[in-house]
């Protein structure tokens, strides 16, 4: 069975060394070049040249390559090439590697599903790989088979992978099924939160100034949720609305924008860091008006690269509760620079985020939730979700790729 290796060591100081990273990247490029065959020349030049073609021609070229190439048996090389290319913001070539991996995993998944005798011998890793691939592609036939497979797993494996069954339900658009399966995950600290959001319409507001006057509609919802909110956040009310009832936080952001600035989180009913226990020891200096609770985090993820983006991660928590209509505003899935309201200051894009928050999984997941009526989104995000995923990747590289690589060159990396 394919091993789910995400190569966390690419972040180590050793691999961050410029010379070594450049050497490994060249090996990865050569690995892809050998597989491509006819395109075994300079991939940097190939990539630059392809952008001179129309988007349709570029998409057709990549799709042709994916169909023509038989994935090699050692997929570890493809995973590594994917991550290294992503680190250098060669997103189109990384997408090609991802397609090769997908094709091999599909064959593996179909082979496994055709041999029920193997189910009882599944390890946690093997079932996790299978479930994440099935969820990522949204094949309803395969999704319907997973619960039966899960029942045949060894008791310990079944217990460890139970969150995956819940996650696959949501990834397939089954909001009610996800909520019912998630009832057992509610902790004592969740009850007051449950009372606050139950039956309420929810506006989820991102940090991107889209230029669209969403403010009045946002404030019409029963509950308004933001990300990394703090007292000094400056929202243009016509775009972002005026109210803030709940805010979800990354733990670093909570330490920085709340604890670091001694914010009282005035106006918030709830603050939801990733791990409340991690930050609770540092809260003594504050007199918080908001209640603190931890966001639910799945021990196993249905995403290809382990983590959802902020919206997707928050939905796995929020949709455990019997909330009303949910609509997302002011988000563009990385198709602009980060707004200062998200990180308290503007920062350049870190390509590591694209490794740990897989672009394609998050795009597919969000698109499927909208298509199945689980959530609705504003006009900006709706238009983004209408494009083909390959076009989405091209837009990301055109927006971020050259700027990032130029900055790396100028800094000597």
Residues 165-193: pLDDT tens digits?
Answer: 888 888 888 899 899 888 877 777 788 99
Q: Is residue 242 part of a domain?
A: yes
Domain end residue (candidates: 76, 107, 138): 107
Select from 263, 261, 267, 262 the least CA-distant residue to 246.
Answer: 267
Q: Is residue 394 part of a domain?
A: no
Average pLDDT value for residue range 232-248: 88
Q: Is residue 411 part of a domain?
A: no
Percent of the chain with pLDDT over 70: 70
Select from 323, 95, 378, 320 the least CA-distant residue to 202.
Answer: 323
Q: What is the pLDDT of residues 66-108, one digit of tens each?
A: 555 554 446 766 777 787 778 878 888 888 888 878 887 888 7
Domain match, 269 and 357 both: yes
Domain match, 196 and 269 both: yes
Domain match, 129 and 263 both: no
Question: Residue 98 sits in which domain range?
Answer: 8-107
Q: Is residue 361 part of a domain?
A: yes
- Residue 408, pLDDT score: 57
3-state secondary structure the chain: CCCCCCCHHHHCHHHHCHHHHHHHHHHHHHHHHHHHCCCCCCHHHHHHHHCCCCHHHHHHHHHHHHHHCCCCCCHHHHHHHHHHHHHCCCHHHHHHHHHHHHHHHHHHHHHHHCCHHHHHHCCHHHHHHHHHHHHHHCCHHHHHHHHHHHHCCCHHHHHHHHHHHHHHHHHCCCHHHHHHHHHHHCCHHHHHHHHHHCCCCEEEECCCCCCCCCHHHHHCCCEEEEECCCCCCCCCHHHHCCCCCEEEECHHHHHHHHHCCCCCCCCCCEEEECCHHHHHCCCCCCCCCCEECCCCCCCCCCCCCCCCCHHHHHHHHHCCCCCCCEEEECCCCCCCCCCHHHHCCCCCCCCHHHHHCCHHHHHHHHHHHHHCCCCEECHHHHHHHCCCHHHHHHHHHHHHHHHHHHHHHHCCC
- Residue 62, pLDDT score: 57
Q: Is residue 53 part of a domain?
A: yes
Cα–Cα distance for residue pair 18/36, rounded to 1 Å: 27
Domain end residue (candidates: 172, 200, 220): 172
* CATH code of the domain covering residue 285: 3.90.1480.20
Cβ 226 vs Cβ 244: under 8 Å: yes
Domain match, 96 and 160 both: no
Q: Is residue 57 part of a domain?
A: yes
Q: Is residue 399 part of a domain?
A: no
- How many domains, in total, are found in the chain? 3
Largest CA distance in the chain: 65
Domain match, 98 and 121 both: no
Domain match, 22 and 133 both: no
| Per-residue tokens: 345 | 């200051």
Domain end residue (candidates: 172, 199, 216): 172
Q: What is the pLDDT of residues 30-74, one digit of tens each?
A: 555 554 444 334 444 444 444 444 455 555 655 555 555 554 446
Domain match, 79 and 167 both: no
Domain match, 313 and 371 both: yes
Cβ 340 vs Cβ 346: under 8 Å: yes
């Amino acid at each position: 069975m394919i091993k789910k290796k995400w190569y966390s060591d690419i972040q180590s100081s050793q691999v961050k060394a410029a010379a070594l990273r450049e050497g490994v990247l060249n090996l990865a490029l050569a690995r892809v070049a050998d597989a491509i065959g006819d395109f075994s020349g300079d991939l940097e030049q190939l990539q630059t040249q392809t952008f001179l073609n129309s988007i349709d021609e570029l998409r057709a070229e990549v799709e042709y390559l994916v169909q023509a190439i038989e994935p090699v048996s050692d997929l570890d090389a493809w995973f590594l090439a994917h991550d290294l290319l992503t680190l250098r913001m060669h997103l189109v070539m990384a997408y090609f590697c991802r397609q090769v991996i997908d094709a091999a995993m599909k064959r593996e998944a179909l082979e496994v599903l055709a041999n029920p005798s193997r189910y009882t011998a599944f390890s946690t890793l093997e079932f996790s790989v299978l479930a994440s691939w099935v969820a990522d592609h949204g094949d309803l036939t395969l999704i319907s088979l997973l619960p039966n497979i899960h029942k045949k797993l060894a008791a310990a494996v079944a217990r460890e992978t139970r969150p995956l069954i819940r996650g696959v339900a949501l990834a397939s658009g089954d909001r009610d099924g996800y909520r019912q399966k998630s009832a057992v995950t509610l902790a004592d600290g969740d009850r007051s939160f449950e009372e606050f959001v139950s039956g309420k319409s929810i506006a989820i507001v991102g940090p991107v100034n889209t230029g669209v006057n969403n403010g009045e509609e946002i404030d019409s919802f029963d509950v308004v949720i933001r990300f990394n909110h703090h007292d000094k956040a400056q929202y243009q009310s016509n775009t972002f609305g005026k109210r803030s009832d709940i805010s979800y936080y990354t733990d670093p952001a909570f330490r920085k924008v709340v604890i670091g600035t001694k914010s009282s989180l005035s106006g918030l009913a709830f603050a939801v860091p990733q791990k409340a226990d991690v930050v609770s020891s540092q809260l003594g200096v504050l007199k918080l008006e908001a209640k603190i609770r931890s966001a639910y985090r799945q021990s196993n993820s249905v995403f290809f690269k382990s983590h959802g983006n902020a919206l997707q991660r928050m939905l796995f928590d929020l949709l455990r509760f019997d909330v009303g209509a949910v609509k997302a505003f002011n988000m563009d899935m990385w198709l602009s620079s980060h707004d200062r309201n998200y990180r308290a200051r503007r920062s350049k894009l870190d390509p590591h985020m694209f490794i740990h928050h897989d672009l394609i999984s998050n795009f597919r997941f969000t698109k499927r939730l909208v298509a199945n009526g689980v959530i609705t989104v504003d006009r900006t995000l709706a238009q983004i979700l209408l494009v083909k995923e390959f076009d989405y990747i091209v837009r990301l590289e055109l927006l971020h790729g050259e700027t990032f690589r130029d900055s790396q060159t100028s800094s000597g990396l």
